[in-house]
Structure 1
Amino acid sequence: MSLHAAAAPVRSVLAESSDAHHSLNPIVTGGGALVVLLILLFLTTRFNKDR
């Protein structure tokens, strides 16, 4: 079974439904990434043993 044959039913289902996929809110995604990076920055600077 080829990839094209396996993806054909999926393509037809996605083409028929107009609201099948709701993307994530960019504000929430960016805010979550910022919070995770700030936590990693805090942990990196807090446990730095090269002082």
Structure 2
Amino acid sequence: MSLTGTAAHLVTLAEGAEHGGNHESLSPFLIGGGALFGLLLLLWITTRFNRDR
């Protein structure tokens, strides 16, 4: 397989042409809110362990 053939396959895969596009059950607000909650939790844990005594 050539480099251009591989690149063309990856482009069509990234566009979602082979898998039907976006999944209907994934909500961007739910994913973003979960990611924000996870990052804030990690920040809180980090600051708890980083106290100067």
Answer yes or no: same fold by TM over 0.5.
yes
Q: Determine if the alignment matches structure 1 residue 20 to structure 2 residue 20.
A: yes
> Cα offset for 1:4?
4.0
Q: Which runs of 5+ in 1 are unaligned?
A: none
The two structures, once aligned, show a CA RMSD in angstroms of 2.8
- Could you tell me how far apart the structure 2 residues matched to 1:20 and 1:3 are? 25
Give 1:39's match in structure 2, choosing from 24, 38, 41.
41
> Cα offset for 1:2?
1.7
Q: Which runs of 5+ in 2 are unaligned?
A: none
Stretches of 4+ aligned residues off by more than 6 angstroms: none
Q: 1:21 to 1:40 in 2, by over 3 A?
A: same
> Cα offset for 1:3?
4.0
- Could you tell me how far apart the structure 2 residues matched to 1:41 and 1:5 are? 43
> Cα offset for 1:25?
1.4
| TM-score, with length taken from structure 2 | 0.54
Kindly tell me the number of residue pairs found equivalent between the two proteins: 45
